[in-house]
Amino acid sequence: MEDNDDIEFKDVQESDDDKNLIQVCPVCGSPDLYYEAGGVEGLYHCKYCGYIGGFVIDANPRMMKLIRDEYESKARISE
Protein backbone atom coordinates (compact mmCIF):
# COMPACT_ATOMS: atom_id res chain seq x y z
CA MET A 1 0.00 0.00 0.00
CA GLU A 2 1.23 3.47 -0.81
CA ASP A 3 1.17 6.08 1.82
CA ASN A 4 -0.36 9.32 0.60
CA ASP A 5 -0.39 10.99 3.94
CA ASP A 6 2.07 13.61 2.79
CA ILE A 7 -0.62 15.41 0.85
CA GLU A 8 -1.43 18.47 2.84
CA PHE A 9 -4.99 19.54 3.17
CA LYS A 10 -5.88 22.92 4.39
CA ASP A 11 -8.72 22.37 6.76
CA VAL A 12 -11.66 24.46 5.82
CA GLN A 13 -13.11 25.09 9.19
CA GLU A 14 -16.69 26.03 9.52
CA SER A 15 -16.99 29.24 11.38
CA ASP A 16 -19.55 31.92 11.72
CA ASP A 17 -17.71 33.71 8.94
CA ASP A 18 -18.83 31.13 6.43
CA LYS A 19 -22.47 31.64 7.22
CA ASN A 20 -22.16 35.38 7.14
CA LEU A 21 -22.20 35.78 3.38
CA ILE A 22 -22.39 39.26 2.05
CA GLN A 23 -22.49 40.48 -1.51
CA VAL A 24 -19.26 42.11 -2.54
CA CYS A 25 -17.84 43.61 -5.71
CA PRO A 26 -15.99 40.99 -7.84
CA VAL A 27 -13.37 43.58 -8.77
CA CYS A 28 -12.39 45.18 -5.49
CA GLY A 29 -14.21 43.19 -2.83
CA SER A 30 -16.06 46.16 -1.47
CA PRO A 31 -19.44 45.52 0.14
CA ASP A 32 -20.35 49.08 -0.72
CA LEU A 33 -22.69 48.14 -3.55
CA TYR A 34 -26.00 49.50 -4.51
CA TYR A 35 -28.51 47.74 -6.70
CA GLU A 36 -30.24 49.55 -9.46
CA ALA A 37 -33.48 47.80 -10.28
CA GLY A 38 -34.58 49.94 -13.19
CA GLY A 39 -34.53 48.81 -16.83
CA VAL A 40 -34.71 45.29 -18.18
CA GLU A 41 -32.52 43.82 -15.45
CA GLY A 42 -30.94 45.28 -12.38
CA LEU A 43 -27.30 46.14 -12.16
CA TYR A 44 -24.95 46.40 -9.24
CA HIS A 45 -22.88 49.51 -8.89
CA CYS A 46 -19.76 49.56 -6.75
CA LYS A 47 -19.17 52.83 -5.00
CA TYR A 48 -15.54 51.98 -4.37
CA CYS A 49 -14.13 51.13 -7.82
CA GLY A 50 -16.99 52.08 -10.09
CA TYR A 51 -17.79 48.53 -11.22
CA ILE A 52 -21.15 48.14 -12.90
CA GLY A 53 -22.53 44.70 -13.67
CA GLY A 54 -25.07 42.03 -12.94
CA PHE A 55 -22.59 39.81 -11.13
CA VAL A 56 -21.47 40.04 -7.54
CA ILE A 57 -19.76 37.58 -5.24
CA ASP A 58 -21.30 36.07 -2.15
CA ALA A 59 -18.32 36.22 0.15
CA ASN A 60 -17.58 35.80 3.79
CA PRO A 61 -15.46 38.45 5.49
CA ARG A 62 -12.27 36.48 4.85
CA MET A 63 -12.92 36.17 1.09
CA MET A 64 -13.85 39.81 1.01
CA LYS A 65 -10.50 40.72 2.50
CA LEU A 66 -8.64 38.50 0.00
CA ILE A 67 -10.31 40.17 -2.97
CA ARG A 68 -9.68 43.58 -1.48
CA ASP A 69 -6.02 42.79 -0.83
CA GLU A 70 -5.62 41.55 -4.40
CA TYR A 71 -7.22 44.69 -5.74
CA GLU A 72 -5.12 46.97 -3.57
CA SER A 73 -1.88 45.28 -4.60
CA LYS A 74 -2.74 45.55 -8.29
CA ALA A 75 -3.66 49.17 -7.86
CA ARG A 76 -0.32 49.78 -6.21
CA ILE A 77 1.63 48.10 -9.06
CA SER A 78 -0.08 50.13 -11.77
CA GLU A 79 0.75 53.39 -10.08
In the complex, the smallest distance separating the C-beta of residue 22 from Zn ion, rounded to whole angstroms, is 13
Residue 52 contacts residue 36 (beta carbons within 8 Å): no
Residue 58 contacts residue 23 (beta carbons within 8 Å): yes
**Between β-strands 33-36 and 43-46, what pairing exists: parallel, antiparallel or unpaired?**
antiparallel
**Which CB sits closer to Zn ion, 8 or 35?**
35
Question: Does 24 contact Zn ion by CB under 5 A?
Answer: no
Largest CA distance in the chain: 62
Question: Does 67 contact Zn ion by CB under 5 A?
Answer: no
Q: Which of 36, 49, 65, 70 binds Zn ion (CB under 5 A)?
A: 49
Binding region for Zn ion (CB under 5 A): 25, 27-28, 30, 46, 48-49, 51
